[in-house]
Structure 1
Amino acid sequence: MTVYRYKNNTPKLKLEDFFSGDISVWGMFEDTFGIIRKRFTCKISGSWDKNTKTLNIKENFMYDDGVKEYRDWKLIKINNNCYEGTTDAVIGKALGYTSGNTFHWKYTFELPLFGRKTKVKFDDWMYLQDNDVIINKAYMKKFGLKLGTVTLFYKKG
């Protein structure tokens, strides 16, 4: 499936608009059998630098087991609908495209899994529902096998 399938969907998603400011996130990780293994919340603070075309996103996660995690993303806008993203846990760069109300990106992520850091691939889809809400599904794989799905709900304000 391609992101351009959603080119006519509205409202139009501009990452630099949606992710500027404060956002609350709720999410969960489901394994391949549909069992929810982790739930979490996240507070996001984002800012857009129009001179460098850089979106800075600071994420503070709190998992249901009490574990806290901090992530600092930098997304550079390459053109009208293409972004490159980096953070400490991404191997190389995340590459993504917007079209209509949708953002799709893929990346390899170093994730703490089974007591050690493991490289997993994410196929990540975000859908803008209205100007204040995104629903996100990210499919996680290792060696081409599905490990599970992360589902997130983003709310501005």
Structure 2
Amino acid sequence: MIAFAWVYEAAASMVSQFGQVYLPALGLSMLGAGVVFSASRLLGAAGGWVAARLQGGGADRWLRWGPLGQAALILLAGLARTAGGGVALAVNEGVDGLVYPLLSARINQAVPSAQRATILSFQSLGSSLLIALAFPAAAALPSVFTVYAIVGGALAAAALGWALPRQRAAVPAPEGR
């Protein structure tokens, strides 16, 4: 779970920060980029509002499959050469606003309170190190579109590795004969 959180947080950070390069590369004006960033923040807040109200199976499904949807949106942004890429980024922020609080809550629930501060510090350190290594590597790529395609692919791989074992655990075993 902690390793998945590292990848998840690194992907979210890169998508957000490289948006400053990505949106102008799509040909959006400052106003257009501002609209995308505003929509992203509003959708993120709406996602957080929904996350606070999700319980049980709904929260589990969003936590399991939401990151895979985000990976698809980031990949789409990496492939898009139109303003539709900005829409994909804004929707991704909405899903992030929903998934990130669920992931944080799940980590907090899974860690015994006596070890929580140490484990959460380790999680933060790991995310920071991954981000610190990933940004220069991404900046060396030929285009921001490539950055988004690679980040989306990496998140997809991590999301599948996170979701599939949890899906198997969520499906009840067939009853014996």
The structure with the largest strand share of the pair is: 1
The TM-score range, normalised by the shorter chain, is: under 0.3
TM-score (normalizing by structure 2): 0.23
The structure with the largest helix share of the pair is: 2
TM-score (normalizing by structure 1): 0.25
Q: Which has the higher contact order (CA 8 A, sep 6+)?
A: 2
